[in-house]
A and B are shown apart, each in its own frame.
Chain A
């Protein structure tokens, strides 16, 4: 069935360093790949997304890359700040169903 694998499960970086989270997906029909940030006790918030006709997208300190051939996509956060500390989820969406399949999540800790 549809599956999304996400790594690493935890990531600790120093403030100012970069953080990279990687995901792979199994459903070749997936064409939309969002990333969500979830702070403790709050709902997931969409932070960036990419569609299958694009290889890379950037929004200030956040970028996402997609390799459709390899079924890989990654989140890159540069110049990390303590407020970036949260759980990050990748997801993949099949355009026929609209439903999201989530990765297992990455707990990012940015140390001041």
Chain B
């Protein structure tokens, strides 16, 4: 498996501000995804980060709130914009490769607290 580096690992932010989370992979991957895990909950897919084009967002998530970049096959960013306490969660990037292109692995996550 490749090494997935996600940063920052945690942050405490003021409401109304924005935070950009970075995800770096040490090899080229076809698919990258961003998930949110609210306290005590499961993982919810935010969007698919498409290389060289706009991300594909899941229902309930919009580009203005969660802009995503993916300039190449090894890097992506997720920005959480105009934050409120409800955005306090763990945000995880995930990459997919392997036989059939389906095995998924996760970055270490970013624990965000909005105050």
Q: How many residues from B make CB contacts under 8 Å with A?
A: 23
User: Which 8 A-B residue pairs are closest in the complex by CB-CB distance?
Assistant: A32-B102, A98-B31, A43-B106, A102-B43, A98-B96, A102-B42, A105-B42, A104-B42
Whether A34 and B103, one on each chain, are in contact in the complex, defined by CB atoms closer than 8 angstroms, is yes
**Chain B interface (Cβ within 8 Å of chain A)?**
30-31, 33, 41-45, 48, 59, 92, 94, 96, 100-109
Q: How many residues from A make CB contacts under 8 Å with B?
A: 23
- Within 8 Å CB of B107, what residues of A? 43
* Distance (whole angstroms) from the CB of A18 to the closest CB of chain B: 24
Whether B109 and A43, one on each chain, are in contact in the complex, defined by CB atoms closer than 8 angstroms, is yes
- Within 8 Å CB of A42, what residues of B? 108
- Within 8 Å CB of B45, what residues of A? 99-101
- Within 8 Å CB of B31, what residues of A? 98-99
Contact indicator per residue, chain A 82-102, by CB within 8 Å of chain B (1) or not (0): 000000010101010111111
- Within 8 Å CB of A93, what residues of B? 102, 104
